[in-house]
């Protein structure tokens, strides 16, 4: 059965056209897909680079095509877009389309890019005039509204900076506009009004982490450390895994200096990050990437943005660009552990297990819990189960109320190194904490079924799991195998055929179906299933079982195969 990992690093998005932080395509005739250096050839080369996720190269080609074909609007817009997506915001601002022959969508985005570049250069008045609500239209009006107060502050317009942004019907602007207003009230030393805003955001039921961190930082700066600690602890009671709030309460409890107020560029970057996240959630990946590049132009140390860029790059299978983004957060950053975990998994999934383990071990050496969890996941993925048990046992021992998922993971690892008593104890402990969790029900239930133990109880458990996840081939397989073990071969065949339809390429499910066919007298179909197993890259244990059944001619009633024990 597959091992569910604690760290999900599946691709998050699919980008239609994305940027690469590295790599190059030479801009000469040898790489021109049509030969020569004509403007049209450079345009086609740019299109090819863009479709391959190489926006740095695309920007170079489009720029050369633009220079060789003055007045070509399409090429000019392509050059602008490629520069923006590659992160060269200064260049993109210089290429922003403005002419009447340019597309409206390109002109709208160009206005925002030029305004952000002005803010990045500290030109508040210029940015403020460009961010005028009347000049901005869909889909950039929310971003412009959130940036406008920060541009006003840069321009020295204190009163203008304190006007809360509004876009009718946009709750995101309402929320982040109030959060920005609170920060700008504090900058203007209007502390009572700042606290009113902060308290309103952090005092709701289930407040957002960022609101709690922002309000707590304000309280610390006002010398109200005890109030800040109480706020942090109240939040952690409901969200104990919050790294940002745990770091804040540790700082405040130790009496270390309060965090500084966010700078104007930092505040603007946070406001724009909110709209970037919303676009990612809405699957507007290309625009989300453009906004993230703008965030990083405003605040190059905004590590959340770097991790999100990495996710977009990985989703487009631009692994080198993803790695460059994930490598940006440095030790001490709250995002360092998550970024290193994702970086390690890019190597794991590409088959470079040695580098993946090296990165995971290096990150875990600092002692952060999330990095050690990631190391345990990668160890399990590489079938180094004894080492995974050691790492997980350390994590579990350090926590008075350990996360049930850690106990579950250790139970899986125990089971794989044949320490069944320990595995069973962990799995039962985890199930007691989460009695309705389908994965737990299935894992423990299947383990009992495969051993021929506690079959009625195990059957009920996997039935409950299948009811929760009827489209899971693994869980339907467990149910079919339970009927097989109980001697109800007809029911076993029905369920195992259903499981194979759901997971046609799973060697274990096909092996089980072959056994069930044999028991109901469908021997030709049974042998077909076992031969099919051998084509599906089974592990050594399943391969040996299938080969033995085919060789003996006795099916599952023949002698058990001998398999070398590779348990570490």
For every residue of 361-390, DSSP letters joined together read HHHHTT--HHHHHHHHHHHHHTT-HHHHHH
pLDDT value of position 43: 56
pLDDT value of position 483: 98
pLDDT value of position 59: 61
* The CA-based dihedral angle spanning residues 379, 383, 387, 392, taken in that order and rounded to the nearest 10 degrees: 60
Cα-to-chain-centroid distance, residue 231: 28
What percent of the chain stands above pLDDT 70?
85
Pairwise CA distance, residues 491 & 481, whole Å? 10
Structural contact between residues 104 and 96, judged by C-beta atoms closer than 8 angstroms: no
Q: How far is CA 243 from CA 209, 282, 328, 421, 426, in A?
A: 10, 26, 19, 34, 26
- pLDDT at position 14 over 80: no
pLDDT (tens digit per residue) in 248-263: 999 999 999 999 999 9
> With bands split at pLDDT 50, 70 and 90, how would you rate the model's confidence at 378?
very high
pLDDT (tens digit per residue) in 431-458: 999 999 999 999 999 999 999 999 999 9
DSSP H helical segments within 87-123, as ranges? 89-95, 104-120
Q: CB within 8 A of 519, min separation 6: which ones? A: 484, 489, 492, 556
Pairwise CA distance, residues 190 & 201, whole Å? 17
Rg of the chain over Cα atoms, rounded to whole angstroms, equals: 29
pLDDT value of position 72: 67
Q: Give one DSSP letter per residue of 189-228, joined into a string.
A: T-HHHHHHHHHHHHSSSS--HHHHHHHHHHHHHTT-HHHH
Which one, of 365, 357, 424, lies nearest residue 384 by Cα? Answer: 357
pLDDT value of position 29: 36
Q: CB within 8 A of 96, min separation 6: which ones? A: 80, 107, 109, 110, 111, 113, 114
- pLDDT at position 466 over 90: yes
Rounded to 5 degrees, what are φ and ψ at 557? -90, 0
What percent of the chain stands above pLDDT 90?
71
Residue entry with tokens 């360092």: 336
Pairwise CA distance, residues 165 & 187, whole Å? 17
- pLDDT at position 42 over 60: no
> With bands split at pLDDT 50, 70 and 90, how would you rate the model's confidence at 238?
very high
Q: What is the DSSP letter of 165?
A: P
pLDDT value of position 212: 97
pLDDT value of position 27: 37
Which one, of 116, 47, 82, lies nearest residue 294 by Cα? Answer: 116
Pairwise CA distance, residues 496 & 530, whole Å? 14
* The CA-based dihedral angle spanning residues 325, 328, 334, 337, taken in that order and rounded to the nearest 10 degrees: 70
Mean pLDDT of 30-46: 50
Report helix, strand or coil for 522. coil
Question: What value does the mean pLDDT of the chain take?
Answer: 88
Q: 426-432: long-range contacts (C-beta < 8 A, 24 or more apart)? A: 429/404, 430/404, 430/405
pLDDT (tens digit per residue) in 140-164: 999 999 999 999 999 999 999 999 9
pLDDT value of position 370: 87
Structural contact between residues 542 and 513, judged by C-beta atoms closer than 8 angstroms: no
Token representation of residue 73: 């609007």
Pairwise CA distance, residues 462 & 460, whole Å? 6
Structural contact between residues 276 and 291, judged by C-beta atoms closer than 8 angstroms: yes
Q: CB within 8 A of 134, min separation 6: which ones? A: none
**Other Cβ atoms closer than 10 A to 134:** 6
Structural contact between residues 542 and 508, judged by C-beta atoms closer than 8 angstroms: yes
pLDDT value of position 75: 76
- pLDDT at position 201 over 90: yes
**Would you put residue 71 in left (φ > 0), alpha (ψ -120 to 50) or beta?**
left
318 or 298: which carries more pLDDT confidence? 298
Which one, of 274, 273, 314, lies nearest residue 294 by Cα? Answer: 273
> With bands split at pLDDT 50, 70 and 90, how would you rate the model's confidence at 100?
confident
400 or 519: which carries more pLDDT confidence? 519
pLDDT value of position 25: 32
- pLDDT at position 185 over 60: yes
pLDDT value of position 386: 97
558 or 224: which carries more pLDDT confidence? 224
What count of residues does the chain have? 568
Token representation of residue 342: 């994702």
> With bands split at pLDDT 50, 70 and 90, how would you rate the model's confidence at 38?
low
- pLDDT at position 36 over 60: no
> With bands split at pLDDT 50, 70 and 90, how would you rate the model's confidence at 176?
very high
Output the CA angle 47-52-54, nearest 5 degrees: 85
Report helix, strand or coil for 332. coil
Structural contact between residues 374 and 344, judged by C-beta atoms closer than 8 angstroms: yes
| Of the candidate ranges 48-57, 157-166, 333-342, 546-555, the one whose mean pLDDT is the lowest | 48-57
pLDDT value of position 78: 81
CATH number of 151-282, picked from 1.25.40, 1.10.3470, 2.40.50, 3.40.1360: 1.25.40
pLDDT value of position 13: 25
pLDDT value of position 136: 79
Q: CB within 8 A of 18, min separation 6: which ones? A: 53, 55, 85, 285, 286, 289, 312, 313, 316, 318, 321
- pLDDT at position 16 over 80: no
Report helix, strand or coil for 528. helix
pLDDT value of position 283: 87
């Amino acid at each position: 059965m597959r091992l569910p990992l604690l760290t999900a690093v599946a691709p998050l998005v699919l980008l239609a056209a994305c940027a690469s932080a590295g790599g190059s395509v030479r801009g000469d005739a040898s790489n021109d897909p049509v030969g020569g250096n004509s403007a049209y050839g450079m345009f086609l080369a740019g299109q090819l680079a863009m479709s391959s996720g190489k926006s740095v190269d695309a920007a170079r080609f489009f720029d050369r095509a633009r220079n060789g074909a003055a007045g070509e609007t399409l090429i000019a817009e392509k050059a602008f877009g490629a520069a923006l997506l590659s992160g060269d915001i200064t260049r993109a601002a210089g290429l922003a389309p403005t002419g009447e022959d340019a597309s409206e969508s390109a002109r709208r985005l160009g206005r925002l890019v030029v305004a952000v570049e002005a803010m990045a250069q500290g030109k508040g008045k210029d940015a403020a005039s460009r961010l005028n609500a009347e000049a901005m239209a869909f889909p950039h009006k929310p971003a412009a509204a959130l940036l406008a107060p920060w541009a006003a502050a840069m321009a020295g317009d204190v009163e203008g900076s304190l006007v809360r942004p509004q876009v009718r019907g946009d709750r995101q602007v309402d929320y982040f506009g109030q959060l920005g207003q609170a920060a700008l009230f504090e900058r203007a030393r209007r502390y009572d009004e700042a606290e009113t805003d902060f308290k309103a955001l952090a005092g709701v039921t289930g407040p957002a982490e960022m609101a709690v961190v922002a309000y707590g930082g304000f309280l610390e700066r006002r010398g109200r450390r005890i109030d800040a600690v109480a706020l942090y602890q109240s939040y952690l009671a409901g969200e104990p895994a919050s790294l940002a709030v745990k770091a804040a309460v540790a700082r405040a409890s130790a009496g270390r200096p309060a965090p500084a107020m966010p700078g104007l560029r930092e505040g603007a970057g946070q406001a724009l990050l909110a709209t970037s996240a919303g676009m990612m959630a809405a699957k507007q990946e290309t625009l989300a990437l453009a906004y993230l590049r703008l965030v990083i132009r405003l605040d190059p140390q905004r590590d959340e943005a770097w991790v999100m860029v990495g996710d977009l790059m990985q989703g487009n299978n631009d692994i080198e660009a993803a790695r460059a983004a994930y490598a940006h957060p440095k030790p001490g950053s709250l995002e360092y552990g998550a970024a290193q975990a994702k970086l390690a998994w890019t190597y794991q999934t590409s088959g470079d297990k040695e580098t993946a383990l090296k990165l995971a071990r290096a990150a875990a050496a600092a002692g952060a819990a999330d990095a050690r969890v990631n190391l345990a996941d990668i160890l399990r993925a590489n079938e180094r189960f004894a080492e995974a048990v050691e790492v997980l046992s350390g994590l579990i021992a350090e926590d008075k109320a350990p996360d049930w998922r850690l106990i579950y993971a250790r139970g899986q690892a125990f089971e794989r190194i044949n320490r069944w008593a320990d595995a069973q104890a962990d799995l039962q402990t985890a199930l007691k904490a989460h009695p309705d969790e389908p994965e737990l029900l299935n894992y423990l239930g299947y383990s009992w079924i495969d051993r021929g133990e506690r079959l009625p109880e195990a059957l009920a458990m996997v039935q409950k799991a299948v009811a929760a996840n009827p489209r899971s081939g693994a869980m339907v397989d467990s149910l079919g195998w339970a009927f097989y073990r109980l001697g109800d071969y007809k029911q076993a065949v029905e369920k195992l055929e259903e499981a194979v339809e759901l997971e046609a390429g799973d060697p274990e499910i096909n092996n089980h179906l072959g056994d069930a066919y044999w028991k109901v007298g469908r021997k030709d179909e049974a042998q077909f299933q076992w031969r099919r197993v051998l084509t599906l890259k089974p592990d050594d244990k399943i391969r040996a079982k299938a080969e033995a059944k085919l060789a003996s001619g006795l099916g599952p009633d023949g002698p058990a195969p001998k398999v070398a024990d590779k348990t570490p």
